[in-house]
Amino acid sequence: MVWHSFELDSSAPLVNPMNARDNLAAKYGETSEGAQKMLDHMTGMASGEGLDFHFGTLKLTNTFQGHQVIHLAAEHGLQDAMKERFLKAYLSEGENLGDVDTLVRLAEDVGLSGAKVRAALEQQTYAQAVRNDEARARAYGISGVPFFVLNDKYGVSGAQSPEVFLSALGQVWQEQRPLQLIGGTGNEAEGCEDGSCAVPQR
């Protein structure tokens, strides 16, 4: 699996004084109580999967820099590890993913060179890669996450059930599997391969 960049709000500031509850209330026109219930529901759902979310300490920020680090991590075979580390840092540990020093430290946690991460962010080495991903998402008509693209042909939007994913993956597998030969492997039958023929003279 490959993670691609998608910003829910590319105009988000690096420092947002609002907390998660008030931000959610403003975004969806909810009361503070209603927004808190939504956060409590998500916290409960996460707990059921063994995840420890703390929305009370969550620091809202712009994630453009973090997406660049994930692209760098992909080049070193550490994309999954980096993505998971960022999610835990953001949702459970109250880390600020808009802060360069924090991003460098978290990248070092998964085995990346802090110096290389810092240099890449200073030079914006992967900025265009992030923008390319976002342009591709727009071309696909993606407007929210999670969104899964299978074989550049099928899309699965949202947190679907395992049955939906199994069905989609089964469809892709059926379309991509090799031909099924009838009558054996062909090695024992008369025919021509690699410039030579096993067909007897008549």
pLDDT classification of 113: cutoffs 50, 70, 90: very high
**Rg of the chain over all Cα atoms, to the nearest angstrom:** 24
Alpha-carbon span 20 to 60, nearest angstrom: 7
Long-range contacts of residues 146-150, Cβ cutoff 8 Å, at least 24 apart: 147/6, 149/4
Residues counted in the chain: 202
Parts of the chain belonging to CATH 3.40.30.10: 20-128
Give 115-133 pLDDT, tens digit per residue: 999 999 999 999 999 999 9
Say yes or no to pLDDT of 75 above 90: yes
- Longest Cα–Cα distance of the chain, Å, equals 89
CB contact set of 29 (below 8 Å; sequence gap of 6+): none
Residue 160 confidence (pLDDT): 87
Say yes or no to pLDDT of 187 above 60: no
Decide which of 110 and 189 is more confident: 110
Say yes or no to pLDDT of 197 above 70: no
Per-residue pLDDT, averaged over 57-73, amounts to: 97
Least Cα distance to 92 among 20, 157, 147 occurs for 20
Report the CATH superfamily, name and number, of domain 20-128: Glutaredoxin (3.40.30.10)
CB contact set of 118 (below 8 Å; sequence gap of 6+): 100, 104
Distances, alpha carbon 11 to alpha carbons 15, 84, 94, 122, in Å:
12, 24, 21, 20
DSSP state of 57: G
* Most confident listed range (11-15, 101-105, 145-149): 101-105
Least Cα distance to 3 among 136, 163, 167 occurs for 136
Place of tokens 């939906």: 164
Alpha-carbon span 107 to 104, nearest angstrom: 5
Tokens linked to 188:
């024992």
DSSP state of 155: E
Distances, alpha carbon 170 to alpha carbons 146, 154, 162, 176, in Å:
20, 12, 12, 10
Place of tokens 């993670």: 3
Lowest-pLDDT choice from 34-38, 158-162, 179-183, 197-201: 197-201
For the chain, percent of residues with pLDDT exceeding 90: 77
3-class secondary-structure state, position 62 = coil
